[in-house]
Structure 1
Amino acid sequence: MSDHVLSLNHVDIYQQENLILKDVNLSIKKGEFVYLIGKTGSGKSSLMKTLYGDIPLKKGEGTIVEHNLSTLKERDIPYLRRKLGVVFQDFKLLTDRTIKDNLKFVLKATGWKKKAEMEEKIDQVLDKVGMKTTGFKYPHELSGGEQQRIAIARALLNDPELIIADEPTGNLDPQTSVEIMEVLQQINKNGNTILMATHDYALLLKYPSKTLKCDGGEVFEVVQKTL
């Protein structure tokens, strides 16, 4: 068993025929909190999509949560995503059902069967993000920050080995962004590994951690003093 949840060696990342990032080498260990920064269009999202199987890996070696990205088949993607928790900028909650039913939908889709176990898991993840009393509400009844907390709870449902958060504070005001970061920090302290793409340099300064940067078609680690 490796202590790395993610390892990329000499990886080129393409969007269709366009080379977006070249010769990417990076690794993330269990328990780390890693930022991914870079301007819009620098390749952050393409890298993220490659990691959760939305963009196929055509060149190089990549392993994520014990799945080989270079040989990943369409049918393997649901199994890969069960080991990943993905948090999006725009929450992606289903607006026609309650918070509890949003979470139940994910559990059913990933093979959970027993009602009591599902209820217990839902209570557990809502409690982790400080939203235990909101299960009966609909997404539109919650603020942006509350919806993002629910999105984080959803990402925790299958006890993921790695949480990929793509600009999780992108649509939130500064105060709410800090609250969401506190939630992510706490989850990281509890042992979850997190890779977070962000534009928000204020958060990086407030919560310093290992930082990777996409720039000029490359990905490299940066020391925070040089941001």
Structure 2
Amino acid sequence: MSNTILSLQNVSIFQENTSILANISLNVNHGEFIYLIGKTGSGKSSLMKTLYADLNLTEGEGTIVDFDLRTLKESQIPFLRRKIGIVFQDFKLLPDRTIYKNLLFVLKATGWTNQNEMDNRIEDVLDRVGMLDHANKMPHQISGGEQQRVAIARALLNDPELILADEPTGNLDPQTSVEVMEVLQKINANGRTIIMATHDYALLMKYPAKTLKCEGGQIFEVVQKTI
């Protein structure tokens, strides 16, 4: 397996025939932590959706975790998403079941069948994000920051090579954002690649990393100013 986890060459991204991003070329290597910044409507979410195959890639060449985005079949999408963990701004936890059963639902949906293995996996990922003691609570019984930790645990269930975090701190206060960011930093330190779309420039200053900006239909690397 190559060191490249994501490669885009001359990619253009469209939403309903409208060009959002044009002629994008980008390589991401295993173990990198990359910020994706830009104003609302600049194309961050469209890029993310293309990476997890919610938008079809119709122009250019793209591979992600060894899947070819240009030739990807509908039947392959579940297998792609097992190798990618996705963290959303609004958590997307199922409100009618406990934290444990939220994670169990994902494991069963992605092909796990052995109950002991599922229990062990859920315990492991909840422990890694500091949420093991809350396994039997309902989502409404825990805070927003705790819900996002659970969402990160859910993203880790299938031991993904790459985590796409789309505004993961967007609904959180500054202190809670830092706590969630610390969790993501630990995951990255353990070798997982993370691409994080964000508006939170305070986090960029506190945890500097390679930064890509969407602007004017293009993506380019920006050098962060240090204080």
- TM interval, shorter chain, is over 0.9
Match in the other structure for 1:164: 164
Q: Deviations over 1:65-103 (max 9, x none)?
A: 000000011111101000000000000000000000000
Match in the other structure for 1:211: 211
Match in the other structure for 1:127: 127
Using the TM superposition, give the Cα deviation of residue 225 of structure 1 relative to its aligned residue in structure 2, in angstroms: 1.8
Match in the other structure for 1:103: 103
The 5 Å alignment of 1:62-211 reads 62-211=62-211
The 5 Å alignment of 1:2-81 reads 2-81=2-81
Using the TM superposition, give the Cα deviation of residue 220 of structure 1 relative to its aligned residue in structure 2, in angstroms: 0.7
- Supply the distance in 1 between the matched residues of 2:181 and 2:71 (Cα, whole angstroms): 34
Query: What TM-score do you get using the length of structure 2 for normalisation?
Result: 0.99
Match in the other structure for 2:220: 220
- Supply the distance in 1 between the matched residues of 2:222 and 2:157 (Cα, whole angstroms): 32
Give the aligned residue type for 1:81. Answer: R
- Supply the distance in 1 between the matched residues of 2:2 and 2:191 (Cα, whole angstroms): 16
Give the aligned residue type for 2:117. Answer: E
Q: Deviations over 1:114-154 (max 9, x none)?
A: 00000000000001101111110000001000000000000
- Supply the distance in 1 between the matched residues of 2:28 and 2:99 (Cα, whole angstroms): 32
Give the aligned residue type for 2:31. Answer: G
Give the aligned residue type for 1:148. Answer: Q
Give the aligned residue type for 2:43. Answer: G
Using the TM superposition, give the Cα deviation of residue 27 of structure 1 relative to its aligned residue in structure 2, in angstroms: 1.0
CA RMSD of aligned residues (A): 0.7
- Supply the distance in 2 between the matched residues of 1:146 and 1:27 (Cα, whole angstroms): 32
Q: Secondary structure at the match of 2:194?
A: strand
- Supply the distance in 2 between the matched residues of 1:136 and 1:79 (Cα, whole angstroms): 29
Runs of 4+ in 1 over 6 A off after TM superposition: none
Q: Deviations over 1:140-183 (max 9, x none)?
A: 00100000000000000000010000000000000000000000
Q: Deviations over 1:172-206 (max 9, x none)?
A: 00000000000000010011110000000000000
Give the aligned residue type for 1:141. Answer: Q
Query: What TM-score do you get using the length of structure 1 for normalisation?
Result: 0.99
- Supply the distance in 2 between the matched residues of 1:191 and 1:117 (Cα, whole angstroms): 23
- Supply the distance in 2 between the matched residues of 1:26 and 1:171 (Cα, whole angstroms): 29
Q: What percentage of residue pairs aligned between the two structures are identical?
A: 70
Give the aligned residue type for 1:40. Answer: T
Q: Secondary structure at the match of 1:137?
A: coil
Structure 1: runs of 5+ lacking an equivalent: none
